[in-house]
């Protein structure tokens, strides 16, 4: 382990304190990290997906065994469809057959799908056992592995069934990104741009499109931003955590209106941010140059910025009305008046959204 490229970022929430350990090659030290940084011991389940398993499960499993843990391996099909009650149940059944009890723990090895599902299973198994996150996508490294939002999709919508369950430890190894397909790699940068817009405009200059090496510093910055927001508002009660929805109101509407799977989440969020920036310029006095600065960066990152490719405005407004983020019909929209800051506003109604979207077509 190279001391210069490791980070240890604490996350302190009302329901638990944990650390995010970031370092190249940490996957090989999984067992050692869990045994030295936590009190976990004994039997555990590694839950991973069909694409990640052949790449990294062997390394994680043997590291756990060497440290004296007794892991079972459960592999789910890769993809969003695995975030379901059926797959959660099959994992729980495998854990029961494997002899896991209330003193056991679970390891989530994969992207946001594996992390959300595994955290959910851990949260309800024997009314809650600990879990460790080992994120392997950009989205999971910079966003979903931190914060304790876990869950699965219901037939009626995404992420509707879940529990807050914070991980006991997060082991983040940037080397896992080397195997990520190009489109999956790119989409994760939408969440990084989002963090920059709402919290730290200077980060916009530290994002280097296309580069996969030495991403540790950027991952660490993003984890620190996410951690600070989660610490301030773990259960999304004060409005602070809701700022993480910048670009997501319209992003989710695009995913939904186009049919899930058509757009990757990060791609839809990129267009959602293009729209939120325009809304911010028209109705929250964001300077035009700041809007253009972010849109230019999204384009350089290979993310979609041309709103003419999005579904029709009427379909988007319809999809927005069924979004759980719309509290009782009133839209709590996230805008930025100045890059690096964000605010929730109830001033942005459907008419203003429609006007902004039309100005982008
Ligand atoms: N809990 C949260 O706070 C939070 C935040 C953001 C997103 N999410 C959720 O995360 C999910 C999206 O996560 P994602 O983008 O990581 O998707 P994902 O988990 O589906 O991973 C994307 C694809 O990459 C593959 N893969 C993963 N790691 C790989 C690697 N290292 N090399 C090669 N292939 C690899 C996967 O098998 C999958 O096909 C969504 O369900 C979203 O709702 C949750
Ligand atoms: Zn997102």
Q: What is the DSSP letter of 311?
A: P
* Ligand positioned closest to the Cα atom of 181: 1
Residue 149: CB within 6 Å of ligand 1?
A: yes
Residue 179: CB within 6 Å of ligand 1?
A: yes
Q: Closest residue (by CA) to atom 2 of ligand 1?
A: 144
Q: Closest residue (by CA) to atom 12 of ligand 1?
A: 112
* Ligand positioned closest to the Cα atom of 80: 1
Residue 195 banded pLDDT, cuts 50, 70, 90: very high
pLDDT tens digits, one per residue of 133-161: 999 999 999 999 999 999 999 887 889 99
pLDDT tens digits, one per residue of 26-37: 999 999 999 999
Q: Closest residue (by CA) to atom 4 of ligand 1?
A: 144
Q: What is the pLDDT of residue 328?
A: 57
Q: Kindly give the pairing relationship between strand 157-164 and strand 149-154.
A: antiparallel
For residue 228, the SS3 value is helix
Average pLDDT over every residue of 179-203: 98
Calpha distance 343→336 (Å, rounded)? 6
Is residue 302's pLDDT more than 60? Answer: yes
Q: What is the pLDDT of residue 325?
A: 60
Residue 123: CB within 6 Å of ligand 1?
A: no
Residue 176: CB within 6 Å of ligand 1?
A: yes
Is residue 308's pLDDT more than 80? Answer: yes
Relative orientation angle of helices 350-359 and 313-321, to the nearest 10 degrees: 150
Gap from CA of 286 to ligand 1 centroid (Å): 32
Q: What is the pLDDT of residue 156?
A: 79
Q: 42 φ, ψ to 5°?
A: 80, -140
Relative orientation angle of helices 265-284 and 248-258, to the nearest 10 degrees: 130
Catalytic residue among 127, 155, 211, 308: 127
Residue 252: CB within 6 Å of ligand 1?
A: no
- Cβ neighbors of 62 (< 8 A, separation 6 or more) are none
Q: What is the rounded end-to-end Cα distance, in angstroms, of the chain?
A: 50
**pTM for the complete prediction?**
0.96
Gap from CA of 140 to ligand 1 centroid (Å): 6
Q: How many CB atoms lie within 10 A of CB 142?
A: 26
Q: What is the pLDDT of residue 326?
A: 60
Q: Are 266 and 186 in contact (CB under 8 A)?
A: yes
296 has catalytic annotation: no
* Ligand positioned closest to the Cα atom of 191: 2
Gap from CA of 251 to ligand 2 centroid (Å): 8
Average pLDDT over every residue of 92-96: 98
265 has catalytic annotation: yes
Q: What is the DSSP letter of 32?
A: H
Paired strand residues for 343: 335
């Amino acid at each position: 382990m190279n001391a210069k490229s490791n980070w240890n970022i604490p996350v302190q929430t009302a329901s638990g304190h944990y650390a995010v350990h970031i370092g190249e090659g940490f996957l090989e030290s999984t067992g050692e990290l869990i045994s030295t940084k936590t009190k976990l011991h004994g039997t555990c389940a590694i839950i991973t997906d069909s694409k990640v398993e052949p790449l990294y499960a062997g390394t994680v499993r043997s590291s756990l065994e060497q440290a004296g843990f007794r892991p079972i391996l459960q592999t789910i099909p890769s993809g969003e469809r695995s975030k379901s009650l059926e797959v959660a149940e099959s994992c729980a059944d495998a854990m029961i057959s494997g002899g896991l009890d209330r003193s056991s723990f679970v390891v989530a090895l994969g992207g946001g799908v594996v992390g959300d599902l595994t955290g959910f299973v851990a949260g309800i198994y024997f009314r809650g056992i600990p879990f460790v996150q080992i994120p392997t996508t950009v989205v999971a490294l910079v966003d979903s592995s931190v914060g304790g939002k876990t869950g699965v999709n219901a037939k009626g919508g995404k992420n509707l069934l879940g529990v807050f369950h914070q991980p006991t430890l997060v082991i983040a190894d940037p080397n896992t990104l080397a195997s990520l397909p190009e489109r999956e790699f790119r989409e994760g940068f939408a969440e990084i741009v989002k963090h920059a817009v709402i919290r730290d405009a200077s980060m916009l200059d530290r994002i280097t499109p296309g580069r996969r090496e030495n991403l540790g510093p950027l991952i660490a910055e993003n984890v620190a931003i996410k951690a600070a927001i989660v610490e301030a508002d773990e259960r999304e009660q004060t409005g602070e955590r809701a700022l993480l929805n910048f670009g997501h109101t319209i992003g989710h509407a695009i995913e939904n209106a186009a049919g899930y799977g058509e757009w990757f989440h990060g791609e839809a969020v990129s267009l959602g941010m293009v729209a939120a920036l325009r809304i911010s310029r028209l109705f929250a006095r964001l300077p035009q140059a700041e809007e253009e600065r972010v849109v230019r960066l999204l384009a350089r990152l290979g993310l979609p910025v041309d709103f003419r490719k999005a579904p029709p405005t009427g379909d988007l407004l319809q999809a927005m009305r069924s979004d759980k983020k719309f509290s009782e019909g009133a839209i709590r929209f996230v805008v930025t008046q100045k890059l690096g800051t964000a605010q929730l506003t109830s001033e942005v109604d459907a008419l203003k959204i429609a006007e902004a979207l039309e100005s982008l077509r």
